[in-house]
Amino acid sequence: LYVTIDLKPGTRFAADERTAHYLKNVMRRAVGDPVILFNGRDGEFNATLADVAKKTVEIEIAALRRPQMGVPDISLCFAPLKKDAVDFLVEKATELGVAAFQPVFTKHTAATRLNLERLAANAIEAAEQTERLTLPQIHEPRSLSDLIDGWDPARRIILCAEAGPALPIAEALSNLKSDVRQTNAWAILCGPEGGFARSELDLLSKLPFVTPVGLGPRILRADTAALAALAVFQSILGD
């Protein structure tokens, strides 16, 4: 269960409204029942419900279960999609261990708005479900040109270009030179449902730290493409 407070053994605290509701009404937990807590910083702790009242739940923190661990520094840069597709993407990419989400507006991005609070809530639920001890960061949307201008060259981009002749992703990642494989910061960049504009692909292809990859001959939906790329990345370079 994700909480925002610092986790220290022996501390007792009142759960926030969301957590209290979840424990009492969804999970039907009672006094003395165990829960497991994480906050993205201190590791994972055993805890017990110390008091369950009409509107409040008190939790007592016990021993550390697992020390804090990180996730590979992989950002998912994606063009905002329709509500259901973006919810699905955030949930599944969090399960697959993404460290950060960077929404990117491109020429052919159809969606114009993104509810970052809802995305953060989806990420918390997915992190809890998958028992990762960190939450992915969710950055403010940026335009593609702005993103490229401010890009940190230490972070290498895996560009899912389009269905077509690009080198298959598994081959491209397996063949990376050993110094590139040592890179600590990565990004996967996928286009919108309308695809990248030719000028955007030209701009991206000139970056010295980009690896264009293909995901097969089929045109995948943007959310499918991002998740497929992430799964292959994790199996070859991640954990």
Q: Minimum Å distance from CB 214 to ligand SAM?
A: 4
DSSP secondary-structure letter at 214?
A: B
| Residue 128 contacts ligand SAM per CB under 6 A | no
| Residue 205 contacts ligand SAM per CB under 6 A | no
In angstroms, the Cα distances linking 239 to 23, 72, 84, 141, 183 are 31, 7, 28, 27, 14
Kindly indicate which of the ranges 60-68, 140-148, 176-184, 189-197 contains the residues binding ligand SAM, using the contact rule CB under 6 A. Answer: 189-197
Q: Minimum Å distance from CB 162 to ligand SAM?
A: 4
> H or E segment at 83?
helix 83-95
83-95 helix and 222-236 helix, angle to the nearest 10 degrees: 10
Q: Which residue among 131, 153, 221, 235 contacts ligand SAM (CB under 6 A)?
A: 221
DSSP secondary-structure letter at 225?
A: H
Kindly indicate which of the ranges 3-11, 154-162, 178-186, 203-211 contains the residues binding ligand SAM, using the contact rule CB under 6 A. Answer: 154-162
Which residue is it, tokens 């990565």?
Answer: 186
Q: Minimum Å distance from CB 155 to ligand SAM?
A: 18
In single-letter form, the type of residue at position 34 comes to P
Output the CA angle 185-189-195, nearest 5 degrees: 175
Kindly indicate which of the ranges 7-15, 171-179, 180-188, 215-223 contains the residues binding ligand SAM, using the contact rule CB under 6 A. Answer: 215-223
| Residue 215 contacts ligand SAM per CB under 6 A | yes
Q: Which residue among 5, 50, 163, 185 contacts ligand SAM (CB under 6 A)?
A: 163
Spatial contact of 86 and 59, defined as CB atoms under 8 Å apart: no
Give the residues lining the site for ligand SAM (CB under 6 A).
160-163, 190-191, 193-196, 214-216, 218-222, 225
